[in-house]
Structure 1
């Protein structure tokens, strides 16, 4: 998941770690909501066009119409596979929820207890969420792409 522009306003905040965590939280919320909308759109589009293809063929619709609807089904299937809005939605929702809980724990502390240790724990939570997101993203990319050359550590391809 990419960020459109680097966000550095948190550096000038009275509590920069909290501001950073809230900025990250807002980012994951935007990505989660956008991915959820795109996921629903692609799934409904694939479902509607695939079922319409069957209905059009059953009603003996002109071949060009049936082919056009089938092309739409293929398009939505490709859109689903290329952009992976479903996994992106799940990953952003998981990251958002984990970070939301860490921010809530920090904000529930009385102001005088928000010391360096508490800020360090919040910063560690922000970094863990980022690390986990990156790890899962790499894992998903490795599952969906095939290597173009020899497998690292394996025998050369014939």
Structure 2
């Protein structure tokens, strides 16, 4: 039950990321067409694109890692004996886990600090600054879970590298 719900959360993140990117493509295209037709521009579109691109990246990253479809350089791992390659992959997963833990902690601190100070983003769109930071600890926590799963060899596609 937990596994199914967890996979649903990862899939939802990927779907939202895809929808964000699709909407962004339509908005930017519409803005360019409107500008070229002399109809003016919508100033908030650039701002929305600035916030949407990193958000989409954060949302899709755990799903990609769970499917072993993330960007990876495995030239060295492929050149090593299988047991050594597996050990190196597990070590890299451990480093990834530690990095994610740091981002979870500092992301949560950034949210708390921004919310406590009542900081606002004041541009074409006005909103609380902590909204920008909110995806960081959540998505890095999901990435941390995936790194643990990979280290333990769990999940249907965990450890799907060349030495799995």
> Which interval holds the TM-score relative to the shorter structure?
0.3 to 0.5
TM-score, length-normalised on structure 2? 0.43
Larger Rg: 1
